[in-house]
Amino acid sequence: VDIAELLEDLEPEIAVVIFRLVKKAKAADVFSYLGSAKGVELLEIFSKQQLSDVMNNLEPDERVALMEELPGHLTQKVLNSMDRENIALVRRLLGYPQESVGRLMTTNYVRVKQDWTVDKSFEHIRKFGRTAETVNVIYVVDEYEKLIDDLKLNQLILAEPNAKISDIMDNTFEVLSAFDDQEEAVRMLSKYDRVALPVVDSGGILVGIVTVDDVLDVAEEETTEDMQLMAGMSALDNVYSETTMAEMVQKRVGWLVMLFLGQMFTVTAMAGYEDTLAAAAILALFIPMIISSGGNSGSQAATLIIRAISTDDIKLSDWFWVFRKEFQSGILLGSILGLMGTIVIGFWMFLRGEPLSMALGLQALTVGTSLVGVVLFGNMSGSMLPFIMSKIGFDPAVTSAPFVATLVDVTGIIIYFSVAVFLLTGVVL
């Protein structure tokens, strides 16, 4: 890792010279820790032998991840540097859908047969374990290579040498499909607290494993993507430092235009109450406070629900339970802010020289009552939109803070002025 970080800061020509000093056995490991941009730069100027050494010694999943990042002109050069066996393996793994477990898994694992003895299994582990991604978990297959169990290494260590593998099996194991989304691997490894999980094809044949270190990058990417979506933009394809200005603008402008057009509904809503504003101009002073309170409550609710859905804390079927809970919390939050708003606004208006009167009290009550309605609406929209998006097949993170805030802006204006018309007609209006 330290060597890779050093190489990241060097010019490609110098980095290649330093890379030659790395022991052959460690070269592939060092290369695997490089960022994709630096890795491509080095591949461009590697000698034929260097290229072959690195590509043939990378882990299968790392090799596939690299091939996905390569520019077209470099792909054939890299493929030609690999052994036939590795080329076939890369093509097989690339045959799985993008962002599937099949592209994340490694084929370097240890498997034993159920009719072997523990002693024979250890001989096999000693022979093939050095190249395996992990030997903490050993996989048991039948004569057709179908997965039938997995065993922790300590189960083998504590078993009698002459015991059969079938005698220490419990036939309980968790498994991933090669066609599962990579997010499923993150969820399963976290849920069952495993260091590795087996991957099978549609026929139950063991085809690879996914280890916890494989999914760390996936978890980080998914978190980054969700944060970008929640900020009101499309997810970047590369890390920020490798994203071009054109791509940055492209990823952000669409949402900004949509949100801008959404704000036009707010302007339209305000235009509908132009006469009300003209009769009681002081109402306009409190619009930002009321609208932002609703937007803040909606953003809080959306963030909580999006995170709960992504961690499987709640499911789509829990929507009504969430609805009731957020309705109650919305009423409480709105009431707290509404009471505080009524008192603070009334006192503030009095300090500005407004005489104590029914008009002052009703204006303060208008703000307080509106806060209850707007905060409640923000809470409900922020909590329900992620369920709606998930139900129709979208990432719930799309219901971002800016999206919720824009929705609350429009509705908040309508709520505020509707309350004002109801309470102030005949008094101020």
Please check whether residue 141 lies inside any domain of the structure.
yes
Please check whether residue 380 lies inside any domain of the structure.
yes
- CATH number (domain holding residue 118): 3.10.580.10
d(CA 70, CA 271): 54
165 and 254 in a single domain? The answer is no
Please check whether residue 176 lies inside any domain of the structure.
yes
Bridge-based pairing of strands 196-200 and 176-177 is parallel
What is the pLDDT at residue 232? 60
User: Where among 95, 123, 150 does a domain terminate?
Assistant: 95
311 and 376 in a single domain? The answer is yes
Domain that includes residue 42, residue range? 2-95
Min mean pLDDT across 34-48, 169-183, 391-405, 415-429 is at 391-405
Please check whether residue 388 lies inside any domain of the structure.
yes
**Cα angle value 114/118/124 (rounded, 5°):** 85
d(CA 394, CA 230): 13
Tokens, residue 252? 């952000």
79 and 130 in a single domain? The answer is no
Which has the higher per-residue pLDDT, 225 or 143? 143
250 and 326 in a single domain? The answer is yes
What does the pLDDT look like over 346-385, one tens digit per residue? Answer: 888 888 877 777 878 888 899 999 999 999 999 999 999 9
User: Where among 170, 193, 212 does a domain terminate?
Assistant: 212
Please check whether residue 429 lies inside any domain of the structure.
no
d(CA 290, CA 334): 11
Which has the higher per-residue pLDDT, 27 or 223? 27
Handedness of CA 105, 110, 112, 117 (dihedral sign): negative
What is the pLDDT at residue 269? 80
% of the chain residues with pLDDT over 90: 39
Return phi, psi of residue 394, to 5°.
-100, 160
Please check whether residue 272 lies inside any domain of the structure.
yes
81 and 119 in a single domain? The answer is no
274 and 416 in a single domain? The answer is yes
- pLDDT above 60: residue 429: no
What does the pLDDT look like over 113-162, one tens digit per residue? Answer: 999 999 999 999 999 998 898 999 999 999 999 999 999 999 999 999 99
327 and 420 in a single domain? The answer is yes
d(CA 359, CA 343): 14
- CATH number (domain holding residue 279): 1.10.357.20
Q: What is the mean pLDDT of residues 324-329?
A: 96
Buried b (16+ CB within 10 A) or exposed e, 71-98: eeeeeeebeebbeeebbebbeebeebee
Task: Give the 3-state DSSP-derived string for 322-377, with helices as H, strands as E and coil as C.
Answer: HHHHHHHHHHHHHHHHHHHHHHHHHHHHHHCCCCCCHHHHHHHHHHHHHHHHHHHH
254 and 309 in a single domain? The answer is yes
Residue 121, class by beta-carbon neighbours within 10 Å (0-12 exposed, 13-18 middle, 19+ buried)? buried
Number of domains in the chain: 3
Buried b (16+ CB within 10 A) or exposed e, 390-403: beeeebbbbbbbbb
Which residues sit opposite 152 in a β-bridge? 137
The Cα-based distances of 376 to 133, 290, 425 in angstroms read 52, 12, 24
Q: Return all residues near 231 (Cβ < 8 A) that are at least 6 apart.
A: 400, 401, 402
- The SS3 of residue 150 is strand
40 and 183 in a single domain? The answer is no
d(CA 110, CA 118): 14
71 and 136 in a single domain? The answer is no
The candidate with the shortest Cα–Cα distance to 60, out of 107, 94, 24, 101, is 107
Please check whether residue 226 lies inside any domain of the structure.
no
Please check whether residue 46 lies inside any domain of the structure.
yes
Please compute, for residue 157, the number of CA atoms within 13 A of its CA located in the half-sphere on the CB side.
Answer: 6
251 and 181 in a single domain? The answer is no
Binned at pLDDT 50, 70 and 90, residue 396 comes out as confident
Tokens, residue 141? 């297959």
Rg over alpha carbons for the chain, rounded to the nearest Å, is: 30
Q: What is the mean pLDDT of residues 163-184?
A: 92
- CATH number (domain holding residue 84): 1.25.60.10
What is the pLDDT at residue 228? 66
301 and 152 in a single domain? The answer is no
User: Where among 212, 229, 256 does a domain terminate?
Assistant: 212
Bridge-based pairing of strands 137-141 and 111-113 is parallel
